[in-house]
């Protein structure tokens, strides 16, 4: 039996299913979560879908169908027999939901991060997949459950956002096959791009302006970076979850291969988002700093302030060049 068959069979046999995205959820984890929650509910299961910190739901995904099904982690009264972790490279990514996940009879790990720790009893992990939403789509098809237009819209959102609109290296011919099938199933293609990409808030637009104004390039490291402080958020009214795609503006600076965005957290720590291209891998750097992610899109959290974290990263870039 393949892991895909095992995953489909486990879900088919389950009665009560907990499902969770990772902390600081993105479009892929939210899309996969809502799609699986709707499909399993349709299949007659009792479904407990959660994001670990409900107040961190990214507002650009408010339009997604199924959102009203989400419950808060402390509202999970019963222990689900099966727990599905979506888009989590390790079990810590479940935050406060880790205990429920570990206590489940069957823990299913559905993910596409190359550094996945295989923490599940069933590990449907494929680093070649564009997104976790793609893997969830395959599970749904394997089990023979119907893909409604609402489910297709959620999964399409995951594919579109994790590939950067079919733009990043994880885009393959198979990605377009799945996009085609989701479009044919009735995914609302225009709504997805218009809600996710063409409807930024005025506050975020102003924050973006600040971040772009501050971009610095260190030519010797082919490195572009910028930063956002808590003061910037207070001044503009923007929130951190809105800044998920801001780094793509930094990655496109000509002559650079590595981009970083330093975001000051309310705790004073700094969240460092990394992107790279043309064969440069930032995944190993993020892991060496206690973080994780993909080869060319990764991140970590630093205890230093913004200036200190810039220096830390420059040291890492220097090491890598020898
Ligand atoms: Mn993903």
* Contact call for residues 38 and 69 (beta carbons, < 8 A): yes
* Contact call for residues 233 and 210 (beta carbons, < 8 A): no
Whether residue 244 is found in the same domain as residue 265: yes
Report residue 11 CA to chain centroid gap: 22
276 Cα to the center of ligand 1, angstroms = 17
Q: Which residues in the chain land under pLDDT 70? A: 321-322
54 Cα to the center of ligand 1, angstroms = 18
112 Cα to the center of ligand 1, angstroms = 6
pLDDT of residue 322: 44
30 Cα to the center of ligand 1, angstroms = 9
Whether residue 187 is found in the same domain as residue 232: no
- 104 DSSP assignment: S
* Contact call for residues 236 and 207 (beta carbons, < 8 A): yes
Burial of 320 (C-beta count, 10 Å sphere; 0-12/13-18/19+)? middle
Nearest to 141 by CA among 310, 301, 4, 269: 4
Whether residue 164 is found in the same domain as residue 224: no
Question: Which of 176, 196, 216 is the endpoint of a domain?
Answer: 196
Q: Report pTM.
A: 0.85
79 Cα to the center of ligand 1, angstroms = 26
Question: Which of 169, 196, 223 is the endpoint of a domain?
Answer: 196
Helix axes 149-162, 27-42, angle to 10 degrees: 160
For the chain, the domain total comes to 2
Whether residue 172 is found in the same domain as residue 29: yes
Q: What one-character-per-residue DSSP string does 166-222 give?
A: TTSTT--HHHHHHHHHHHHTT--HHHHHHHHTS---HHHHHHHHHHHHT-EEEGGGT
Whether residue 125 is found in the same domain as residue 213: no
Whether residue 99 is found in the same domain as residue 225: no
- 140 DSSP assignment: H
175 Cα to the center of ligand 1, angstroms = 13
Whether residue 141 is found in the same domain as residue 239: no
Collect all residues with Cβ–Cβ distance below 8 Å to 231 and sequence separation of at least 6. Answer: none
Nearest to 289 by CA among 266, 307, 316, 269: 316
Burial of 181 (C-beta count, 10 Å sphere; 0-12/13-18/19+)? middle
* Contact call for residues 266 and 98 (beta carbons, < 8 A): no
Question: Which of 166, 196, 226 is the endpoint of a domain?
Answer: 196
Whether residue 207 is found in the same domain as residue 285: yes
pLDDT of residue 125: 98
- β-partners of residue 264 are 270
Q: C-alpha distances in angstroms, 265 versus 81, 237, 272?
A: 36, 15, 10
235 Cα to the center of ligand 1, angstroms = 31
Whether residue 215 is found in the same domain as residue 154: no
28 CB neighbour count, 10 Å cutoff: 27
Q: What is the CATH number of the domain that holds 109?
A: 3.90.1640.10
28 Cα to the center of ligand 1, angstroms = 5
pLDDT of residue 218: 96
Whether residue 132 is found in the same domain as residue 12: yes
Range of the domain at 219: 202-321
pLDDT of residue 169: 85
Q: What is the CATH number of the domain that holds 310?
A: 3.10.310.30
pLDDT of residue 321: 62
Whether residue 267 is found in the same domain as residue 183: no
196 Cα to the center of ligand 1, angstroms = 16
Whether residue 83 is found in the same domain as residue 190: yes
């Amino acid at each position: 039996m393949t892991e895909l068959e095992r995953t489909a069979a486990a879900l088919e046999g389950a009665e009560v299913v907990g499902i969770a995205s990772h902390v600081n959820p993105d479009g892929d984890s939210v899309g996969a979560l809502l799609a699986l929650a709707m499909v399993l509910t349709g299949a007659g299961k009792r479904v407990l879908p959660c994001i670990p910190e409900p107040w961190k739901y990214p507002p650009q995904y408010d339009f997604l169908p199924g959102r009203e099904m989400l419950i808060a982690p402390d509202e999970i009264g019963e222990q689900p027999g099966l727990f599905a972790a979506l888009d989590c490279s390790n079990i810590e990514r479940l935050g406060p939901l880790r205990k429920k996940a570990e206590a489940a009879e069957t823990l299913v790990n559905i993910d596409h991060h190359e550094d996945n720790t295989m923490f599940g009893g069933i590990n449907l992990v494929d680093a070649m997949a564009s997104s976790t939403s793609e893997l969830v789509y395959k599970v749904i098809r394997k089990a023979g459950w119907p893909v409604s237009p609402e489910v297709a819209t959620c999964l399409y959102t995951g594919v579109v956002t994790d590939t950067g609109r079919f733009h990043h290296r994880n885009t393959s011919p198979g990605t377009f096959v799945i996009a085609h099938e989701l479009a044919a199933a009735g995914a609302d293609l225009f709504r997805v791009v218009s809600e996710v990409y063409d409807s930024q808030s005025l506050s975020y637009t102003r924050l973006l302006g600040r971040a772009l104004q501050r971009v610095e390039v260190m030519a010797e490291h082919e490195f572009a970076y910028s930063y956002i402080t808590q003061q910037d958020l207070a001044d503009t009214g923007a929130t951190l979850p809105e800044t998920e795609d801001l780094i793509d503006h930094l990655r496109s600076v000509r002559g650079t291969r590595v981009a970083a965005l330093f975001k000051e957290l309310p705790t004073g720590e700094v969240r460092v988002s990394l992107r790279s291209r043309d064969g440069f891998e930032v995944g190993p750097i993020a892991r060496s700093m206690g973080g994780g992610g993909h080869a060319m899109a990764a991140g970590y959290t630093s205890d230093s302030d913004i200036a200190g974290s810039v220096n830390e990263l420059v040291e890492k870039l220097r090491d890598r060049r020898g």
